[in-house]
Amino acid sequence: MDNPDKLRRFEQTVLPHLDAAHNLARWLTKSAPDAEDVTQEAMLRAFRFFDGFRGSEARPWLLQIVRNTFYSWREQNHRLEQSFSVEEEAVEIADDRPTPPELHQQDLDARLLRETLATLPDDFREVLTLRELEDCSYKEIAAIMNIPMGTVMSRLARARQQLERLLRQRIAGVQP
């Protein structure tokens, strides 16, 4: 049994990044239930190897574990990719509330972006998720993905270009 001090340090250091871990797993797996499985397994791995954590940045360390867990999970499951399940998102209403048609358009835009992002190859979707959704630095992404920083920059540029191209095609009604 692990000591209570390890559990306390783990809770203080790693648990604040649980949402980021789940978000990355969600984008990688394209499925809420699978993301929960990957996140749970990643957290177990993180706890198991927490004694070996020597860095000052727990977030990139945890996200790298999530990424590695996802690839192990995918290899073990050999499933056909399931369609990305889209959950309703809460809309925060400000003082200058959007009109119902504006809200509807925002929802359509967000759904289009999510669905298009989900069609990107894993490497592109992963780097975009880490940079744009998780706000990781290039250095953190390089560490998480275990690739050179130049590769991060070029992959991110190509991912953005492909996402833009696919969005333009979908908006124009052209199937890629």
Q: Which of the four pLDDT bands, split at 50, 70 and 90, describes residue 91?
A: very low
Average pLDDT over residues 108-129: 87
Whole-number Å distance between alpha carbons of 37 and 7? 21
**Rounded (5°) CA angle 162-163-164:** 90
The pLDDT of residue 176 is 54
What pLDDT was estimated at residue 153?
95
Residue-range domains of the chain with CATH: 4-77 (1.10.1740.10), 100-171 (1.10.10.10)
- Residue at 176: amino acid letter: P
pLDDT at 156: 95
Average pLDDT of the residues in 49-65: 88
What percent of the chain lies above the pLDDT cut of 90?
49
In this structure, are residues 21 and 63 in contact, taking their beta carbons and an 8 Å threshold? yes
pTM more than 0.95 = no
Q: For the chain, give the percent of residues with pLDDT over 70.
A: 82
Residue predicted with more confidence, 88 or 159: 159
Find how far residue 100's CA is from the centre of its chain. Answer: 30
Looking at per-residue pLDDT, the higher value among 36 and 3 belongs to: 36
- Tell me the average pLDDT across 46-61: 88
Residue 93 has pLDDT above 50, yes or no: no
Mean pLDDT of 123-133: 92
Q: Return the number of other C-beta atoms located less than 10 Å from residue 73's C-beta.
A: 18
Please give the pLDDT value at position 77.
80
